[in-house]
Amino acid sequence: MKIPFLQRGPGKPAKMINASLLRASFERRAVLIGAVQGGVGVLLALRLGYLSVAENEKYRLESESNRVNLTLIPPRRGWILDRDGAPLASNRADFRVDLIPERLVDADATIDRLGELLSLEPARIADIKDKVNTSRGFQPVEVASGLAYEDFAALSVRLPEFPGVVPQRGFSRLYPTASSVGHLIGYVGPASAEEYEKDPNPLLITPGYKIGKDGLEKQFEKELRGVPGARRVEVTAGGRIVRDLETREDVQGAPIKLTIDGPLQDYAARRIGLESGSVVVMDCRTGDLLCMASMPSFDPNSFSDGIGGVEYAMLRDDERVPLRNKVLKGLYPPGSTVKPMVSMALMQAGIDPEETVNCGGGLRVGNRVFGCWNRRGHGATNMAKAIYQSCDVYFYSMAQRIGMQPIADMARRCGMGQEFPLPVTSQFFGTVPDPAWKMKKWGREWQTFDTVNATIGQGYMLSSPLQLAVMASRLATGKHVMPRLTLDTRPQGFDKADFSTEQVSYVRKAMSDVVNGPGTAGRARLPIENTLMAGKTGTAQVVSLSISNGKSGPWKYRDHGLFIFFAPYDNPRYAGAVVIEHGGGSGAAYPIARDVMTFLFDPAKGLEALAALEAGWGGTAQQRLEARYAAYAAERGASVSRPPRRDEEILDRVDAEARRAATQTDAIAGEVIAPRPEANPSGTPPGAPAAPAASPSPAPASPAPPAETAR
Amino acid sequence: MSTLTQRTGIIPEPIARQPWEMLIPLVLLTSFGGLVLYSAGGGAMEPFALSHFIRFAVFAVMTAIIASLPRDAVDLLTYPAYLVVLLLLLAVEIVGQVGGGSQRWLEFGPIRIQPSELMKPAVVLAMARFYSSLPSGMIGSWRSVLPSGMLIVLPIGLVLLQPDLGTSVAIAFGGVVVMFLAGLPLWWFLTAGGLGIAAMPLIYFFALHDYQRARVTTFLDPESDPLGAGYHIAQSKIAIGSGGIFGKGFNNGTQSHLDYLPEPHTDFVFATMAEEWGLMGGLFVLAMYALILKWGWKVAAEAQDRFSALLAAGATATIFFYIAINLLMVMGMAPAKGIPLPWMSHGGSSMMTNMICIGLLMMVNRWNRMAPRRGLAA
> CA–CA separation, A532 vs A389, rounded Å?
18
For residues A408 and A335, membership in a common domain is answered with yes
Same domain flag for A284 and A253 = no
- Same domain, residue pair A191 and A324: no
User: What CA–CA distances, in Å, run from A591 to A325, A469, A535, B49?
Assistant: 22, 16, 12, 89
Q: Based on the structure, what is the number of domains in chain B?
A: 1
Q: Which of residues 226-265 of A touch B (CB under 8 A)?
A: 234-238, 242
Digit-coded pLDDT (tens) for A115-136:
888 888 888 888 888 888 877 7
SS3 at position A79:
coil
A452 and A558 assigned to the same domain: yes
Neighbours of B83 (CB within 10 A): 12
Q: Is the peptide bond before A568 cis (omega within 30 degrees of 0)?
A: yes
Q: Report residue B378's pLDDT band, with 50, 70 and 90 as the boundaries.
A: very low
Angle, helices B306-330 vs B115-133, to 10°: value is: 140
Per-chain mean pLDDT for chain B: 85
Looking at A374-479, list the stretches that DSSP marks H as alpha helix, in order from N- to C-terminal side: 383-388, 392-402, 404-413, 435-442, 448-455, 465-477
The answer to whether residue A75 is domain-embedded is yes
Helices (H) and strands (E) in chain B, counts: 15, 2
B309 contact residues in A (CB cutoff 8 A): 23, 26
Cα gap A432→A79, rounded to integer Å: 38
Contact (Cβ atoms closer than 8 angstroms) between residue A438 and residue A446: yes
Q: How far apart are CA A602 and CA A104, in angstroms?
A: 58
Which chain A residues are Cβ-neighbours of B177 within 8 angstroms?
33
Residues of A in contact with B255 (CB under 8 A): 63, 66-67
The amino acid sitting at A624 is: R
Cβ atoms A297, A624 nearer than 8 A: no
**Number of separate domains in chain A:** 2
Quickly state the pLDDT bin for B226 (edges 50, 70, 90): low
Q: Residue A683: which CATH number?
A: 3.40.710.10
A53–B140 C-beta distance less than 8 A: no
A460 burial (CB, 10 Å; 0-12 / 13-18 / 19+) is: buried
Q: How far is CA B206 from CA A105, B143, B213, B256, B335, in A?
A: 33, 31, 10, 36, 18
**Residue A487, exposed/middle/buried by CB under 10 A (0-12, 13-18, 19+)?**
middle
CA distance linking residue A428 with residue A579, whole number of Å: 15
A569 contacts A508 by C-beta, under 8 angstroms: yes
Contacts of A275 (CB under 8 A, 6+ apart): A295, A580, A581, A583, A588, A592
- In A, which residues are within 8 Å of B297 by CB distance? 30, 34
Q: Write out chain A residues lying below 8 Å of B183, CB-based.
A: 17, 21-22, 25-26, 29
Kindly state whether residues A241 and A367 are assigned to the same domain.
no
| Residue A212 · residue A221 · CB < 8 Å | yes
- Same-domain status, A241 and A309: no
**pTM of the shown model:** 0.66
Report the pLDDT averaged over residues A416-442.
89
- Residues B183, A51: C-beta atoms closer than 8 Å: no
Residue B342 has a pLDDT of 93
Does residue A32 form part of some domain?
Answer: no
Residue B127 lies in a domain: yes
pLDDT score, position A710: 33
Q: pLDDT tens-digit profile of B85-124?
A: 999 999 888 887 776 556 777 877 777 788 888 899 999 9
Residue B11 lies in a domain: no
Q: Which residues does chain A have within 8 Å of residue B258's beta carbon, measured at their own beta carbons?
A: 66-67, 234-237, 242
| Residues of B with Cβ-Cβ distance to A52 under 8 angstroms | 240-241, 243-245, 274, 278-279, 282
C-beta of residue A520 within 8 angstroms of C-beta of residue A545 = no
Q: To the nearest whole angstrom, how far is the Cα of A233 from the nearest Cα of chain B?
A: 12
> In a mutagenesis test of the B interface, which of A3, A25, A37 is the best target, namely the one with the most B β-carbons within 10 Å?
A37
- Determine whether the interchain pair B244/A237 forms a contact, defined as Cβ–Cβ distance below 8 Å: no
The CA-CA-CA angle for residues B171, B175, B177, to 5°, reads: 120
Calpha distance A231→A214 (Å, rounded):
30
Report the residue of chain B nearest A60, measured CA to CA. B242
Mean pLDDT of the region A457-468: 91
Q: Provide the pairing of β-strand A256-257 with A80-81.
A: parallel
Q: Residue B287 and residue B292: Cα distance in Å, rounded?
A: 9
Q: Do A44 and B331 touch (CB under 8 A)?
A: yes
Q: How far apart are alpha carbons A104 and A75 in whole angstroms?
A: 26
The beta-carbon neighbor of B282 closest among A21, A33, A48 is A48
CATH of the domain at A115: 3.90.1310.10
Q: Which residue of A has its CA nearest to B131?
A: A1
Domain end among A235, A257, A279: A257
- The whole-angstrom separation of Cα B108 and Cα A679 is 105
CB contact under 8 A, A17 and B136: yes
Q: Do A44 and B328 touch (CB under 8 A)?
A: yes
pLDDT at B100: 57
Q: Which of A257, A274, A306 is the last residue of a domain?
A: A257
Please compute the mean of the pLDDT values over residues A536-554 and round it to a whole number: 83
A398 has a pLDDT exceeding 80: yes
Q: Judging by DSSP bridges, how do beta strands A560-567 and A534-540 pair with one another?
A: antiparallel
Q: Which of A45, A51, A67 sits opposite B241 (nearest CB)?
A: A51
Residue A175's domain spans which residues? 69-257
Distances (CA, A) of A564 to A531, A575, B323: 17, 8, 93
pLDDT band at A518 (very low <50, low <70, confident <90, very high): confident
How far apart (Å, rounded) are the C-alpha atoms in residues A410 and A471? 10
Interchain contact A52–B (C-beta under 8 A)? yes
Per-residue confidence (pLDDT) for residue A143, from 0 to 100: 85
Asked if A197 and A274 sit in the same domain, the reply is no
* Closest residue in chain A to residue B130, using alpha carbons only: A1
With cut-offs at 50, 70 and 90, classify the pLDDT of residue A682: very low
Q: What is the mean pLDDT of residues A578-605?
A: 90
Average pLDDT rounded to a whole number, residues A388-398:
89
pLDDT in tens, A271-288: 998 889 999 999 988 999
Q: Does residue B59 register a pLDDT over 90?
A: yes
Most confident of A326-330, A672-676, B12-16: A326-330
Q: Is the pLDDT of residue B314 over 90?
A: yes
Rounded distance between C-alpha atoms, residue A126 and residue A133, angstroms: 11
Return the axis-axis angle of helices B210-220 and B230-243, rounded to nearest 10°. Answer: 40
Q: How far apart are the first and last CA of chain A?
A: 143
Can you tell me the ipTM of this complex?
A: 0.90
Distance CA A624, CA A503 (A): 46
pLDDT digits (tens, 9 = 90+) for A646-667: 677 777 777 777 877 777 777 7
Q: In this structure, are residues A224 and A115 in contact, taking their beta carbons and an 8 Å threshold?
A: no
The whole domain housing B317 covers: 19-368
| Phi and psi based region of residue A28 (left: phi greater than 0; alpha: psi -120 to 50; beta: remaining) | alpha
Position B313 scores a pLDDT of: 94
B286:A48 CB<8 A:
yes
B183-192 pLDDT, tens digit per residue, is 888 888 888 8
Does residue A691 register a pLDDT over 50?
no
Phi, psi of A683 (to 5 degrees): 90, -5
Of A227, A257, A287, which residue constitutes the final position of a domain? A257
How far is A47 from B233, CA to CA, in rounded Å? 14
Q: Does B378 reside within a domain? A: no
pLDDT for the residue numbered B295: 95
Pick the closest to residue A295 from A312, A283, A279 (CA basis). A279
Is pLDDT at B267 greater than 90 in this prediction?
A: no
Q: Is the pLDDT of residue B221 over 90?
A: no
In degrees and rounded to multiples of 5, residue A478 shows phi and psi of 75, 0
Residue B6 lies in a domain: no
CA distance B241 to chain A (A): 4
pLDDT for A290: 93
- Enumerate the residues of chain A whose CB falls inside 8 A of the CB of residue B243: 52, 56
Best of A22, A48, A103 to disrupt the B interface by mutation (most B CBs within 10 Å)? A48
Distance from CA of A102 to the nearest CA of B (A): 15
Residue B7: predicted pLDDT: 53
What are the φ and ψ backbone dihedral angles of A444, each rounded to 5 degrees? -125, 155
- In DSSP notation, A491-537 reads PBSTT-B-S-HHHHHHHHHHHHHHHHSSSS-GGG--SSTT---EEEE
Q: Is residue B2 part of a domain?
A: no
Is the same domain home to A238 and A267?
Answer: no
d(CA B73, CA B76): 5
* CB-CB under 8 Å, A45 with B241: no
Distance of residue A50 Cα from the nearest chain B Cα, in angstroms: 8
Alpha-carbon distance B170 to nearest alpha carbon in chain A (angstroms): 15
pLDDT for residue B204: 78
